Amino acid sequence: MADQLLFLASFAIGIVPALVLMWLGLRRYTYPRIEKALFDDRRIFFSLAVGLVMGTLSSLISLNLPRFDFASILIALVAIAMFEETFKLVYLNRKGYRQNFSSTFYGFALGLGIAATVVLSFGLGNPNLTTDPFTFSLLVLFSIGFAAMEATTGALIGYGCSKGLPWSYLLRALFARLVYTIPAVPFLLSSGPEWLIYLSIFASLGVGLLLYFFACSITFQETLPPEFRRRARKERRARARKD
């Protein structure tokens, strides 16, 4: 029973923030905000599902990487980051996605799927999750920040593929991930005094949300062709007048 509760709690802190962030990020670009969605809903949810699978694989790889000392742990973090971001590039640079503006949205969903199962595995490694509300709250905050970062890097890589600049935007995604990871290191390594670990969670959450805001307010707008931007603005204004 305890194991089942731990799994359910871990699943909840992984999938719920990811779904909420996906809804918040995409709602401006689909019905009822605009008459016709600017992406294929089936591809959005398929990308999310692929992300869930890849997040599971990433977690399994992470668990089997050597962690002898501080240096080996940092190498493991870099290896996992490269694996996840390179997979996003491979997935989003395929025929049918390449130079398609909606790939930015699919990359966004892909990143959220990866984040959901990575956080799930993280929760399963914390047996206090179901008995200590404070631990649960901290992991929820970590989940939100981590999912926001993964969504941003997915959107950046999708945008790069849509513009025919996949490698350039892979580097930007890795830089965004680095900016997030630096303040998250004390929490991820569980090293240092408690106040530093708590500060790490809140700092990484703030960075993750800033990256997410960048993706939703700038990257999404930039990915749309001019005619779609005009149509989206026109439909939003018409809806605002009706309301």
Give the mean pLDDT of the chain.
88
The pLDDT, as a whole number, for residue 101 is 92
Q: How far apart (Å, rounded) are the C-alpha atoms in residues 218 and 43?
A: 22
Percentage of the residues of the chain whose pLDDT score is greater than 90: 58
How many domains, the chain? 1
Q: Which residue spans within the chain are E strands per DSSP?
A: none
Q: Is residue 32 part of a domain?
A: no
**Enclosing domain of residue 228:** 2-26+40-242
Q: Is residue 34 part of a domain?
A: no
Q: Is residue 131 part of a domain?
A: yes
pTM of the model: 0.91
Task: Name the phi and psi angles at 224, rounded to 5.
Answer: -75, 135
Tell the residue number behind the tokens 């973090």, with chain if given.
77
Q: Is residue 31 part of a domain?
A: no
Q: Which residue, 3, 64, 21, is CA-closest to 205?
A: 21
Q: What is the pLDDT of residues 220-232, one digit of tens each?
A: 989 988 777 776 6
How many C-alpha atoms does 173 have within 13 Å on its Cβ side?
Answer: 33
Angle CA 159–164–167, to nearest 5: 80
Q: How far apart (Å, rounded) are the C-alpha atoms in residues 33 and 151?
A: 21
Q: Is residue 35 part of a domain?
A: no
Q: How far apart (Å, rounded) are the C-alpha atoms in residues 130 and 145?
A: 21
Q: What is the pLDDT of residues 121-171, one digit of tens each?
A: 888 887 778 778 888 899 999 999 999 999 999 999 999 999 999 999 999
Q: Is residue 115 part of a domain?
A: yes
